[in-house]
Amino acid sequence: MRKKTQLIHGGIFGDETTGAVSTPIYQVSTYKQDSVGQHRGFEYSRTGNPTRHALEELIKDVEGGKRGFAFGSGMAAITSVMMLFNSGDHVVLTDDVYGGTYRVFTNVLNRIGIEATFVDSSQLENIESAIQDNTKAVFIETPTNPLLKVTDLQEAANMAKKHNLLTIVDNTFTTPYFQNPLSFGADIVLHSATKYLGGHSDVVAGLVVVNDEQLGEDLHFIQNSTGAILGPQDSWLLMRGIKTLGIRMEEHEQNTKAIVDFLEKHPVVENIYYPGLPSHLGHETMKKQSSGFGAMISFDVGSGEKADEVLAKLRYFTLAESLGAVESLISVPAKMTHASIPHDRRLELGITDGLIRISVGLEDIDDLLEDLDQALS
């Protein structure tokens, strides 16, 4: 089955009982047992719910793994995965991971003894030199936010295996339509499904797929024990979003290419970060491991004042955090998502005051280009 077909026919297609082609929303907490201990696969909705189960089967198929899990947010997914580890364990992470991931590792998981080291994982040797005796996993985000740095998934997974570490990949930016980390040897892939998988700025959710039955058993035990599950309404909304992921990603990327072409020729724009550009450092690696380059771009307009000016003039780019929806969203990382990082450290990382990040949406490309043109001039 090819990708676009799998997004529609993967998992559990429709409803056996009624023939409904869309999985119904089982808005239910408990299930009648035929006799004591005899149930039909569902007993209580924290443990399992038919709508959530259909979503979990779908994402399992789409990522090509053994078990899928749906959580109440991307952060709930990440935190639940970290509950696989014990106090005293250590994890090596990409240094510019999503801000919420950085926060949970440095302000919450550290309190229960899970240690973290952050390195530029686009250089493999940085990961290897951060490995300690108590290291249990490598946590990679590729490409990253906002500078779109790319990590080689195959090389990272091979290296992790050599040291008996689990490889965990946050695949939110590229989506399983373009990139399947498990196929390169990763053990766990996770998503903020709030972004492209949902795709319409109307649901907060997290998904995890594991490539091993035992890991699946362990994670189900954690999901059931700690309870950070996704509800049936949101599970249904997410399945609805995933059906169109393929055509959305194709169109997101087409629009992005046109915007990058425009920005490249614009005199005000200094640096453009997009892995689809042959000049981008991660271009060749991304080409090897992903069938698309996605729809996130960052570019520099020289100063914070200029960035403010541009943002104030734009009409179709909504000033907001988040990404991956039909609406084009724009942000200034230095003042928004990355404001908590000290100024000097930000500059070291390349997050200048004039850096603008766009999540390119699905509006008519001519409107987007005209809008950027008037705002930049």
Ligand X SMILES: *Cc1c(COP(=O)(O)O)cnc(C)c1O
- In the complex, the residues that contact ligand X under the rule CB under 6 A are 73-75, 98, 100-101, 141, 170, 172-173, 192, 194-195, 204, 206
Asked if 46 is an active-site residue, the reply is: yes
Cα gap 323→172, rounded to integer Å: 10
Spatial neighbors of 155 by CB under 8 A, at least 6 apart, are 124
Q: How far is the CB of 181 from ligand X (least distance, A)?
A: 13
Annotated catalytic residue: which of 3, 46, 66, 306?
46
Nearer of residues 85 and 102 to ligand X, judged by Cβ:
102
Annotated catalytic residue: which of 60, 67, 98, 149?
98
The alpha carbon torsion through 165, 171, 175, 176 (nearest 10 deg) reads: 10
| Phi, then psi, of 272 in degrees rounded to 5 | -120, 130
Q: How far is the CB of 33 from ligand X (least distance, A)?
A: 35
Is there a contact between 135 and 92 (Cβ–Cβ < 8 Å)? Answer: yes
Annotated catalytic residue: which of 89, 170, 187, 300?
170
Nearer of residues 75 and 259 to ligand X, judged by Cβ:
75
Q: How far is the CB of 105 from ligand X (least distance, A)?
A: 12
Q: Which residue's CB comes closest to ligand X?
A: 74
Can you read off the two tokens belonging to residue 255? 């629009």
Is there a contact between 174 and 143 (Cβ–Cβ < 8 Å)? Answer: yes
> Hey, CA dihedral for 141, 146, 148, 151, is it positive or negative?
negative
Nearer of residues 65 and 206 to ligand X, judged by Cβ:
206
Is there a contact between 195 and 322 (Cβ–Cβ < 8 Å)? Answer: yes
Q: How far is the CB of 204 from ligand X (least distance, A)?
A: 5
The string of DSSP codes covering 14-79 is: S-TTT--SS------SB---SBTTB-SS-SBTTT--HHHHHHHHHHHHHHT-SEEEEESSHHHHHH
Nearer of residues 127 and 168 to ligand X, judged by Cβ:
168
Nearer of residues 191 and 257 to ligand X, judged by Cβ:
191
Q: How far is the CB of 171 from ligand X (least distance, A)?
A: 9
Closest CA to 269 of 303, 294, 295: 303
Is there a contact between 69 and 223 (Cβ–Cβ < 8 Å)? Answer: yes
Nearer of residues 57 and 170 to ligand X, judged by Cβ:
170
Cα gap 357→147, rounded to integer Å: 9
Asked if 98 is an active-site residue, the reply is: yes
Asked if 195 is an active-site residue, the reply is: yes
Going by the DSSP 8-state scheme, the letter that residue 229 receives in this structure is B
Query: Which residues belong to the active site?
Result: 46, 98, 170, 195
